[in-house]
Chains A and B, each alone.
Chain A
Amino acid sequence: MGIKELWHRLGSPRWFFEMSRRWPWIFGGLALLLLLSGTLWGLAFAPADYQQGNSFRIMYIHVPTSLVAQSAYIVMGVAGFMLLVWRMKLADMVLSAIVPFGMSMTALSLFTGAVWGRPTWGAWWVWDARTTSMLVLLFLYFGVYALRQAIPRQATAGRACAVLALVGTINIPIIKYSVDWWLTLHQPASFTLTEAPSMPMVMWMPLLVNVLGVYCLFGANLLGRLRLEILKRERSTQWVRDVVLSGRT
């Protein structure tokens, strides 16, 4: 199937729904596998960090969730772009499907960051570059959520959120740069909670596994919510009625 045909097909939520039947399960299974092994490895088998001791093991959650939180928003922005420019219905649904998981990952990243910071550096919270941009990201997610709730009409809400997500995505690098530049200036002893440049492989391998696992989890959750959203929005069509009746969802 060529790109053009794929593009055309993507305009049909029904085609996507039928094609993606197995996907949530595949991604979910992969996620489970990866996260279980990565977490076990990181918790029990990786050596303790000689500076931080065992608290560094929180990194195996903190880093993956931070990465997904940011990527998810960018996917929202891209979906917004596709909705506005090509009126792709599927893009609208992707946008609304991402918000819950994206927001929870952002919140989790902030929480685990705080929990990591307390035993390691003595403070629950620091206004450093990373935590501050993550907090702003949380506000950006909340904005998309709040805007959707505030607009009663489905189609309008979708496109309004698309504009907002797109503007937010364009702003993310600017926000990150400005926060990074300014706050590391303010706090020269900044605690960078991410990978020290020289981490032995036996320490970052489980991290890689967990990162992949969380991305698979994101994929599974997104696909699950997306498919439900498709059913909801197309509920008045015959094919959805057939699907509901047959129970093969």
Chain B
Amino acid sequence: MKLFYGQLRREFIVMFESLEEVANPLVFLFLGITLFALATGGGVDALRDYAPAIIWVLVLLANLLSLEGLFRRDYEDGTLEQVVLLAQPGFLPILAKITAHWLFSGLAMTILAPVAALILFLPGSALPVLVTTLLVGTPALSLIGSVGAALTVGLRRGGVLLALLVLPLYVPVLIFGAGAVLQQMGGMDTAGQIYWLLVISMVSLTVTPFAVQAALKVALEQS
């Protein structure tokens, strides 16, 4: 467990050193919302019905932005090998990294979701469902995304490739997440979707750290 917390502490230190980097995805989220508002004329009717979709899609994309840097720093200064290969068990530091990523992106966006909901005129009754789906679904995004980040670390133009690899895998989370909020707005029960998001996050939690470990080992081979 010390392994986990040690890595977690290291991640926090790095994050606090460059808070602007941490803020980037969050700024992106609101920038994106602004773009949608501008593109649709900003009317209540135009935005309200699409609010869940806009928020969820932008959350997906914002996640990708911060995923890029997940392993890059350690890869560049050579400490990635220590983290991945020398630690026993190797998946703990990886899990710590992903946790840190989630805290500063997924969780952060979940906390800011009410603001986003406000400016997109999401009905108040749908807000709890939005926050719940984000809370339960964003861990899956960080977990699944980290596999893509591990596969593309060290590649030039890794960013676009990362998006290409990860977005198809995000589809179920998007469907259940945005879908739940839309269901709520339509007055129907949303428990099913939330359970599914939970399932996806749980399954990702058990499977992805090992996939990430395998992918990092592959990536490190080539350096």
Is B115 part of the contact surface with A, judged by Cβ < 8 Å?
Answer: no
Contact, CB under 8 Å: B168 / A140: yes
When chains A and B are docked, how far (Å) is the Cα of A109 from the Cα of B158? 30
Name the contact of B164 in the complex, choosing from A143, A160, A163, A167 (C-beta under 8 A): A143
Chain B residue, CB-CB nearest to A85:
B214
- B167 & A163 in contact (Cβ 8 Å cutoff): no
Contact B165 A147, beta carbon cutoff 8 Å: yes
Minimum CB distance partner of A141 in chain B: B168
Asked if A171 contacts B222 (CB within 8 A), the reply is no
Task: Give residues of chain B (194-223) contacting chain A, Cβ–Cβ below 8 Å.
Answer: 196, 200, 207, 211, 214-215, 218-219, 221-222
Q: Is the CB of B215 within 8 A of A160?
A: yes
Would you call B215 and A139 a contact (CB within 8 A)? Answer: no
As a 0/1 sequence over residues 125 to 141 of chain B, the CB contacts with chain A under 8 angstroms (1 = contact) are 00000000000000000
A136 and B167 alpha carbons, distance in the complex (Å): 9
Interface footprint category on B: 20 to 34
Which residues of chain B have C-beta atoms less than 8 A from A166's C-beta? 211
Q: Which residues of A sit under 8 angstroms from B155, Cβ to Cβ?
A: 150-151
Contact present for B172 and A171 (CB under 8 Å): yes
Question: Of A173-181, A191-199, A204-212, which binds chain B?
Answer: A173-181
Which of the four size classes fits the interface of chain A? 20 to 34
Within A140-157, the residues touching B (CB, 8 Å) are 140, 142-143, 146-147, 150-153, 155-156
Could you give 27 example pairs across A and B, Cβ below 8 Å? A142-B164, A143-B168, A146-B165, A147-B152, A147-B161, A151-B155, A156-B218, A159-B214, A160-B151, A160-B215, A160-B219, A163-B151, A163-B214, A164-B147, A164-B151, A167-B144, A167-B147, A167-B211, A168-B169, A170-B207, A171-B169, A171-B172, A174-B172, A174-B200, A175-B168, A179-B171, A179-B172
Residues of chain A having any CB pair with chain B under 8 Å: 84, 136, 139-140, 142-143, 146-147, 150-153, 155-156, 159-160, 163-164, 166-168, 170-171, 174-175, 177-179, 181-182, 185
Known: A170-B207, A179-B172. 15 other contacts (CB 8 A): A139-B168, A150-B155, A152-B222, A156-B219, A159-B218, A160-B151, A160-B215, A160-B219, A164-B165, A166-B211, A171-B169, A175-B169, A177-B172, A178-B172, A182-B176
